[in-house]
C-alpha cells in the first residue's frame, strides 16, 4: 500500500464475508473482486455476535455460519481462491482464540497477509497484542474518529500495513453522506503516523469513494459490496469496478 501512495494511487480495500452468499460463490467473489481492481481484500470471519457490524454484514455472517463456515474453512477458501491480492482477515478475538495458538501461522501458510481484530483495543490484552504483532501477518489497527492525538500515536505504533480509520461512530452500514469533520480527522491521524490511512464505514457510492480518496490514502467498502453479492457475484464485481474507476479518476 505504501507503493500505491508513492505512485499517487488510492487503495481500494474491499470487505466480503467468507462463505457468503455460499462457499462456492465466495471463491468466485474473491476472484471477481481481484479482477475488478481491489488492492486489498478484507475477508470477514463469520461470527455469531458481530457487535461492530451493521445489519447487512450481520446477516451475511449468519448466512455463512448456516453454511457451516468456520475460521478453518475460511483458510481453505483462501487456498481454493488462489488469488494474488493481499488478504486481511477481519475478525473478532474469540474465533482466533478458539482456533489455537498456531492459527496465525496456518493463516499465513494458506495465503493470508494480515489480520484485523475489531474488539482488541491497544492496551486491553498486551500478551495477545504481542502475539499478533510478532506473528507472520500484518497487524492492522482501527482508529475511531473521536480518538485523541496521543492515543492515535499509540495505536498506530502497535500496528502495521495501514491504519483503518472509522469514518463515524456506530456500526458498519450504508450512509448517504460523509462526516463533515472527516478531513480534519484524517489530518490529525497523519500527525500521528506515517502509515497509509484508509477510511471505512459508510462508503458505498463512486461519489463518496472519490470524495474520501481525495483526502485519504484509500477507502474501505464493505456493506455495499456484501449487499451487491446478495444479488450476484457479477453485481458485486461491477460495483468494485465502478469504485476503482472513481478512485483512478482523482
Instruction: Kindly name the residue from 7, 22, 34, 42 that is annotated as catalytic.
Output: 42
Continuous segment of H or E residues that includes residue 70: none
Active site residue 7: no
Instruction: Kindly name the residue from 53, 80, 181, 248 that is annotated as catalytic.
Output: 53
Nearest alpha carbon to residue 30 among 231, 229, 246: 229
- Evaluate whether 178 touches 167 at the Cβ level (below 8 Å): yes
Q: What is the DSSP string of 142-210?
A: EE-TT--HHHHHHHHHT--S-EEEE-SSS-S---SS--TTHHHHHHHHHHH-SS-EEEESS--SHHHHH
Interacting residues of 185 by C-beta distance below 8 A, sequence separation 6+: 145, 165, 179
CA 224 from chain centre, in angstroms, equals 13
Active site residue 42: yes
Continuous segment of H or E residues that includes residue 129: helix 126-133
C-alpha cell at 120: 482488541
The catalytic residues are 42, 53
Amino acid at each position: 500500500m505504501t507503493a500505491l501512495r508513492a505512485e499517487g494511487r488510492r487503495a481500494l480495500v474491499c470487505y466480503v464475508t467468507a462463505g457468503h452468499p455460499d462457499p462456492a460463490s465466495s471463491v468466485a467473489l474473491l476472484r471477481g473482486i481481484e479482477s475488478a481492481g481491489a488492492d486489498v481484500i478484507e475477508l470477514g470471519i463469520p461470527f455469531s455476535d458481530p457487535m461492530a457490524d451493521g445489519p447487512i454484514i450481520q446477516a451475511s455472517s449468519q448466512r455463512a455460519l448456516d453454511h457451516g463456515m468456520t475460521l478453518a474453512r475460511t483458510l481453505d477458501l483462501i487456498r481454493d481462491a488462489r488469488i494474488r491480492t493481499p488478504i486481511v482477515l477481519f475478525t473478532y478475538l474469540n474465533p482466533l482464540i478458539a482456533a489455537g495458538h498456531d492459527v496465525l501461522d496456518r493463516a499465513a501458510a494458506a495465503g493470508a497477509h494480515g489480520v484485523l481484530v475489531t474488539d482488541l483495543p491497544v492496551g486491553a490484552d498486551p500478551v495477545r497484542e504481542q502475539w499478533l504483532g510478532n506473528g507472520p501477518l500484518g497487524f492492522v489497527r482501527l482508529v475511531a474518529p473521536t480518538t485523541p492525538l496521543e492515543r492515535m500515536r499509540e495505536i498506530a505504533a502497535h500496528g502495521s500495513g495501514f491504519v483503518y480509520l472509522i469514518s463515524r461512530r456506530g456500526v458498519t452500514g450504508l450512509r448517504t453522506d460523509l462526516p463533515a469533520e472527516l478531513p480534519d480527522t484524517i489530518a490529525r491521524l497523519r500527525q500521528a503516523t506515517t502509515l497509509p490511512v484508509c477510511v471505512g464505514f459508510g462508503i458505498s457510492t463512486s461519489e463518496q469513494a472519490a470524495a474520501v480518496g481525495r483526502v485519504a490514502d484509500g477507502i474501505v467498502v464493505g456493506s455495499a459490496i456484501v449487499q451487491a453479492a446478495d444479488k450476484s457475484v457479477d453485481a458485486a464485481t461491477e460495483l468494485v469496478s465502478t469504485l476503482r474507476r472513481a478512485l483512478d479518476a482523482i
